[in-house]
Amino acid sequence: MPAPTTAMMYAGQDLAQIQKWIEGQKLKAPAMKDAPPFYRNLEAALDERRAGHNLVTLHRFEHKVDFSSNDFLSLATSGMLREAFLKELERNPDFAVGSTGSRISDGNNAYMESVESQIAMFHGAETALMVSSGYDANCAIFSAVPRPGDAIVYDELIHAGVHDGMKTSLAATQVPFKHNSADSLRETLVSLKESQSLIRQGTRCVLIAVEAVYSMDGDVTPLAEIVQVVKDIFPAGNAQIVIDEAHSTRLVGKNGRGLVCALGLEKEIAIRLHTYGKGLGAIGGMFDFASPRTGRNARYRRLFFGRLTRVPLIAAILANSTVLNTLLKLCSARHIHDGAIVSNARGDPRRLQDRVQHLVRRFCENIEADAAWDEAVTAGICSMPVSHDVESRPFVTQFLPVWTRQGQNYFLTMHLHGDGYTAIPIDPPVVPRGTGRVRLIIHAGNTDEEVQGLAASICRWAREMLDIQESKTPGNEMPSAMRKVYGLAQAVDVHGLDPSKLAANPFE
């Protein structure tokens, strides 16, 4: 028997992951009649998900080319960041690993405060506050900042962390406005002002929640317009904007200072949130304030009752700054004005920000030039609004969502996995009903060849779907990657598999 090739081994590993998921969908409670009620009830609740084939199981697709992680500057995997992190720890040899106490009791220290000052200065803010994650930052802001009688107005696609923060907020009025629509925001603010006398009189406030870059659509908030609308309707300043820069910190603006800095709006935005677990390749969250007087000492319950991992988290944040500063120096030594370079394993040093811009544009050109893609878009099989007119746009984001028909985002996901690329299917409730998609993320460390390969793989899938639609493959109504999955499901006796529930969706 011939020895298995690496490709065969990986295909085997992938199928094992999928098989694990399929097996995870088998009902458990019926076989637990004699088990203690605590365990039986728990499994009975999970069985409701299993019955719909949508129990989330953890998966691993480690050997593939990364088109799904949030490490969009490829720093998390960069040896430079690891090295800087270890050096930073060496500089603080006596550090305590744990937090020792919550921030308001014993958990505060000079190291933490100095990093907060540095970060605030970097972003042109007055002060900053560190928390364990971006999710925590959103929860902390929206639960602690609004006062009774205040209102929160939020973009309808705002992140789950804002919603979770709002659940414990004292602001009883919480109203969405249409995604990225300054007109819809204007209407919402006008109607709020008309209906709430204290807000109209300026004694109660409105907090407006937006994201700089929306990861599900890959679009950018019209921030300058939003600032103008808020000033028009509330000239006295009792309406303020909170912006989440999770996907723009270090990717947008000079040296990656974010969208607010890129637009020169530092003084107009009350609170900015930065995550360190995404483009910055570390972990943690930070929010900064335009005002030196208020914000930092609000009653953030997460800081009172939760603990931060101290030195390791801060060291990772600092290491990130060190790496980027080193890269910046290297850039200027090479007469490159701003941005940073990555010297990845493939030895292709370029500026990180520019590298993402270049690769996204390259991907869009490739896909738009392929006849199969064009035909599939015309046939309504798929589309990618962000790929249009990229040449005329001054800035593109790292996100490339491919919209498909209901449930077929799983067909494309399986196809891409089969070709060696990671991809994540996104479904409601994360996105509105009927708008399932595959979210692709481009990284500074991806090569041109990988990005071209990704575009070609999507176009092969598009051709396969066209052939199925045009009945050119009688008897095969499923694309080949899905046929393998159905074969597996039958082998482990799971029937009626719903493709729209096929992959573990970590966002639900």
End-to-end CA distance of the chain: 44
User: Nearest distance from residue 504's CB to ligand PLP, in Å?
Assistant: 16
Binding mask 265-284 for ligand PLP (x = CB under 6 A): ----------x-x-------
Closer to ligand PLP by Cβ: residue 61 or 507: 507
Binding test (CB under 6 A) with ligand PLP, winner from 54, 103, 134, 139: 134
Note whether 422 and 440 are within 8 A (CB).
no
Q: Is the dihedral of CA 33, 38, 43, 48 positive or negative?
A: positive
User: Nearest distance from residue 308's CB to ligand PLP, in Å?
Assistant: 13
Closest CA to 508 of 436, 440, 427: 427
Note whether 70 and 64 are within 8 A (CB).
no
Binding mask 282-311 for ligand PLP (x = CB under 6 A): ---x--------------------------
Asked if 211 touches ligand PLP (CB under 6 A), the answer is: yes
Asked if 246 touches ligand PLP (CB under 6 A), the answer is: yes
Tokens of 117: 């000052």
- Interface segment toward ligand PLP; rule CB under 6 A; list 133-141, 221-229, 264-272, 403-411: 133-141
Distance, in Å, from the CA atom of 90 to the CA atom of 84, rounded to the nearest integer, reads: 10
Asked if 219 touches ligand PLP (CB under 6 A), the answer is: no
Closer to ligand PLP by Cβ: residue 270 or 341: 270
Binding test (CB under 6 A) with ligand PLP, winner from 68, 99, 127, 133: 133
Distance, in Å, from the CA atom of 505 to the CA atom of 63, rounded to the nearest integer, reads: 19
User: Nearest distance from residue 395's CB to ligand PLP, in Å?
Assistant: 18
**Helix or strand run (H / E) with residue 441:** strand 437-441
- Interface segment toward ligand PLP; rule CB under 6 A; list 127-135, 225-233, 316-324, 337-345: 127-135
Per the rule left: phi > 0, alpha: psi between -120 and 50, beta: everything else, 360 is alpha
Number of neighbouring beta carbons within 10 Å of residue 375:
17
Distance, in Å, from the CA atom of 82 to the CA atom of 60, rounded to the nearest integer, reads: 22
User: Nearest distance from residue 216's CB to ligand PLP, in Å?
Assistant: 9
Asked if 180 touches ligand PLP (CB under 6 A), the answer is: no
Closer to ligand PLP by Cβ: residue 215 or 322: 215
Is the preceding omega at residue 425 within 30 degrees of 0, hence cis?
Answer: no
User: Nearest distance from residue 180's CB to ligand PLP, in Å?
Assistant: 14
- Interface segment toward ligand PLP; rule CB under 6 A; list 129-137, 338-346, 419-427, 433-441: 129-137
- Taking CB under 6 A as the criterion, which residues in 143-162 touch ligand PLP? 159, 161
Distance, in Å, from the CA atom of 499 to the CA atom of 484, rounded to the nearest integer, reads: 12
Asked if 505 touches ligand PLP (CB under 6 A), the answer is: no
Query: Site for ligand PLP (CB under 6 A): how many residues?
Result: 13
User: Nearest distance from residue 248's CB to ligand PLP, in Å?
Assistant: 10
Angstrom CA distances, 117 to 61, 128, 164, 301, 307, stand at: 39, 7, 28, 22, 20
Distance, in Å, from the CA atom of 115 to the CA atom of 126, rounded to the nearest integer, reads: 13
**DSSP characters over 362-382:** HHHHHHHT-HHHHHHHHTTSE
Closer to ligand PLP by Cβ: residue 88 or 244: 244
Note whether 116 and 124 are within 8 A (CB).
no
Distance, in Å, from the CA atom of 80 to the CA atom of 282, rounded to the nearest integer, reads: 12
Closer to ligand PLP by Cβ: residue 53 or 274: 274
Distance of CA 489 to the CA centre of its chain: 31
User: Nearest distance from residue 244's CB to ligand PLP, in Å?
Assistant: 5
User: Nearest distance from residue 175's CB to ligand PLP, in Å?
Assistant: 19
User: Nearest distance from residue 70's CB to ligand PLP, in Å?
Assistant: 7
Asked if 135 touches ligand PLP (CB under 6 A), the answer is: yes
Closest-approach residue to ligand PLP (CB): 134
Distance, in Å, from the CA atom of 144 to the CA atom of 446, rounded to the nearest integer, reads: 40
Q: Which residue has the tokens 């990772």?
A: 316
Closer to ligand PLP by Cβ: residue 138 or 409: 138
User: Nearest distance from residue 114's CB to ligand PLP, in Å?
Assistant: 21
User: Nearest distance from residue 277's CB to ligand PLP, in Å?
Assistant: 4
User: Nearest distance from residue 246's CB to ligand PLP, in Å?
Assistant: 4
Distance, in Å, from the CA atom of 377 to the CA atom of 403, rounded to the nearest integer, reads: 10
Closest CA to 479 of 429, 430, 395, 409: 409
Asked if 244 touches ligand PLP (CB under 6 A), the answer is: yes
Where on the chain is the footprint of ligand PLP (CB under 6 A)? 133-135, 138, 159, 161, 211, 215, 244, 246, 275, 277, 285
